[in-house]
């Protein structure tokens, strides 16, 4: 019971925790060949992002269930909110060019000539929501590989784990 001046408040709550497991590899060489090849492509593609304002290039390379590989980069705009993250460019391209084909794995990397690019990078909140929508659409998890231009690689077996309180079509029915 908390006391505030003359008012007594009874506050009930239960503290909960959210945890998940992920794999961290010291190097791209420690990944299985399929994942290593995907990350190599992501690292190379990051140098081709359209980023004239920030010079911070991000790439996302997806492996589809049918074996097709799709590459994307972030796209900046002078009107900053109009820019699009590499992950959402990737998911939109896949939905348009390969409708009905589920995404199996996505490798994400970045290039930052103004600082370090050796620390793994994770999707922003909007991209996490877009990844979740894609997973719900096909009923299958998307494995994420996250890295910089060199060094450690983080592997998350289900991209939905990055967004514990997700918004979905069920929320629209409430």
Contact 123, 131 (CB under 8 A): yes
Instruction: Find the catalytic residue in 34, 65, 87, 133.
Output: 87
Contact 98, 64 (CB under 8 A): yes
Instruction: Give φ, ψ of 29 to 5 degrees.
Output: -65, -20
Q: Looking at the 3D structure of the chain, how many domains does it have?
A: 1
Q: Is residue 126 part of a domain?
A: yes
Q: Is residue 18 part of a domain?
A: no
Average pLDDT of the chain to the nearest whole number: 94
Domain limits for position 104: 26-148
Q: Is residue 171 part of a domain?
A: no
**Burial class of residue 29, CB neighbours in 10 A (0-12, 13-18, 19+):** exposed
Distance CA 36, CA 44 (A): 12
Which pair of tokens denotes residue 138? 């096909």
Residue 15 annotated among the catalytic residues of the structure: no
Of the pLDDT bands very low, low, confident and very high (cuts 50, 70, 90), residue 146 is very high
Q: Is residue 5 part of a domain?
A: no
Q: What CATH number did the domain enclosing 101 receive?
A: 3.40.140.10
Q: Is residue 105 part of a domain?
A: yes
Could you read off the pLDDT of 53-112 as tens digits, one per residue?
A: 999 999 999 999 999 999 999 999 999 999 999 999 999 999 999 999 999 999 999 999
Q: Is residue 7 part of a domain?
A: no
């Amino acid at each position: 019971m908390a006391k505030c001046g003359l008012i007594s408040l009874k506050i009930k709550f239960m503290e909960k925790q959210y945890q998940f497991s992920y794999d961290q590899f010291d190097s791209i060489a420690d990944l299985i060949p399929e994942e290593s090849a995907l990350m190599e492509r992501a690292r190379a593609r990051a140098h081709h992002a359209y980023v004239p304002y920030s010079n911070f290039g991000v790439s996302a390379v997806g492996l589809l269930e049918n074996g097709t590989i799709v590459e994307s980069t972030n796209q900046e705009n002078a009107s900053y909110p109009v820019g699009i993250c590499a992950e959402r460019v990737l998911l939109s391209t896949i939905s348009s060019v390969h409708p009905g084909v589920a995404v199996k794995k996505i490798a994400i990397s970045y290039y930052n000539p103004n600082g370090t690019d050796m620390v793994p990078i994770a999707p922003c909140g909007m991209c996490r929501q877009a990844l979740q929508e894609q997973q719900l659409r096909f009923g299958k998890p998307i494995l994420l590989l996250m890295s910089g231009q060199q060094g450690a690689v983080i592997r998350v077996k289900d991209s939905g784990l990055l967004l514990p309180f997700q918004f979905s079509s069920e929320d629209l029915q409430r």
